[in-house]
Amino acid sequence: MARSRVQKRRHLIYYLEVYDVESGNILGNLVDITTRGIKLVSEEEIPLNRNYILKLRLPEGYFKENEIHFAGKSLWSAKDVNPEFVATGFEVTSLSLEERKIMRQLIEKIGFNG
């Protein structure tokens, strides 16, 4: 049975970079977000059903922090609207209270309804 979406996804006015902390490599650019999940767009396919520690670079001028780290699991992948890119959905599996607060502020400050 498919789980229904509890939170409305918010698209961002910036494409923020998301990195795999373990490898240090960029995984992709964040294109939409909730406190329960994110969607990245990348040139390369991201392995599915894998747990990651993710580093999200925050936009300058909005936060005192430069980045946040949180755990996520890659769940699905599909061709993006632009066929040169791949979209990958992640479940946010661990988020501290402070990181959750920053994510909510990020959504409020630079998000828009798509």
What is the model's pLDDT at position 55? 97
What is the model's pLDDT at position 56? 94
- The full set of domain ranges for the chain reads 10-112
What is the model's pLDDT at position 62? 81
User: What phi and psi values does residue 25 have, to the nearest 5 degrees?
Assistant: -85, 150
Mean of the pLDDT values across residues 81-109? 91
Task: Give tens-digit pLDDT for 30-89.
Answer: 988 888 999 999 999 999 999 999 999 988 888 888 999 999 999 999 998 888 999 999
What is the model's pLDDT at position 106? 84
Three-state secondary structure readout of the chain: CCCCCCCCCEEEEEEEEEEECCCCCEEEEEEEECCCEEEEEECCCCCCCCEEEEEEECCCCCCCCCEEEEEEEEEEEEECCCCCCEEEEEEEEECCHHHHHHHHHHHHHHEECC
pLDDT tier for residue 114 given thresholds of 50, 70 and 90: very low
Query: Looking at the domain covering 10-112, what would its CATH class be?
Result: mainly beta
What is the model's pLDDT at position 107? 81
Q: How far is CA 46 from CA 39, 49, 71, 82, 97, in A?
A: 12, 10, 15, 17, 27
